[in-house]
Amino acid sequence: MARTAYVTDLKTLQGECSANYLRLSRLLGELGAGERREVALSGREQRFGTLHLEVLECAPYTTIVRVSQSGVLDAVIDPPCMRVHLYHDVRMAEVTDFQRHRHFHGRYRYPNARMHQPDEKLQLNRFLGEWLEHGMAHGHSLDATVLR
């Protein structure tokens, strides 16, 4: 039985990147280069971490943001950290760096040396979307910005 090659689903990837642009724009507000926003994540009765958003660079058409999280398991596992480029002219946000791995391709042959999934880029951008949605749903800004 022959396997067919994975074909990148550009429509889904672009939709995810557009939605992430809106989510990040909402969470960042008017932050400029070097500024940070911290969002306390909590459940019903306890706080379980903090979502950190830091604007690394601002230019007329792009903004680079570091998204990370700290929490109760930091001593056990590496907390998630990614760098995201916001492209203002097309209103899209793309993950360009995750856990210090950079430049993800649209598709990978599988198996490969780094064991990336065939749709690794889409999965990373989907993860960012779920992460930001969780922050907006369960977060409380520590600097008086309204998240909802």
Which has more confidence, 99 or 6?
Answer: 99
Task: Kindly state whether residue 142 falls inside one of the protein's structural domains.
Answer: no
- Number of structural domains in the chain: 1
Task: Kindly state whether residue 98 falls inside one of the protein's structural domains.
Answer: yes
pLDDT at 104: 62
Task: Kindly state whether residue 93 falls inside one of the protein's structural domains.
Answer: yes
Task: Kindly state whether residue 49 falls inside one of the protein's structural domains.
Answer: yes
% of the chain with per-residue pLDDT over 70: 70
Query: How many whole angstroms separate alpha carbon 80 and alpha carbon 64?
Result: 17
CA distances from 91 to 59, 60, 61, 78, 80 (A): 14, 13, 10, 30, 24
Read off the pTM. 0.78
Domain holding 56, by residue range, is: 10-137
9-42 tens-digit pLDDT: 789 989 999 999 999 999 999 899 999 999 888 7
Please list the residues that pair with 65 across neighbouring strands: 55, 84
The residue whose two tokens read 């939605």 is: 19
- For residue 92, give the nearest of 63, 60, 133 by alpha carbon: 63
Whether 66 contacts 56, CB under 8 Å: yes
Which has more confidence, 69 or 45?
Answer: 69
- For residue 141, give the nearest of 42, 40, 49, 65 by alpha carbon: 40
Task: Kindly state whether residue 143 falls inside one of the protein's structural domains.
Answer: no
The three-class DSSP label of residue 84 is strand
57-103 tens-digit pLDDT: 999 999 999 999 887 666 666 788 999 999 999 999 999 988 766 66
The mean pLDDT of the chain is: 81
% of the chain with per-residue pLDDT over 90: 41
Range from 53-57, 90-94, 128-132, 135-139 carrying the lowest mean pLDDT: 135-139
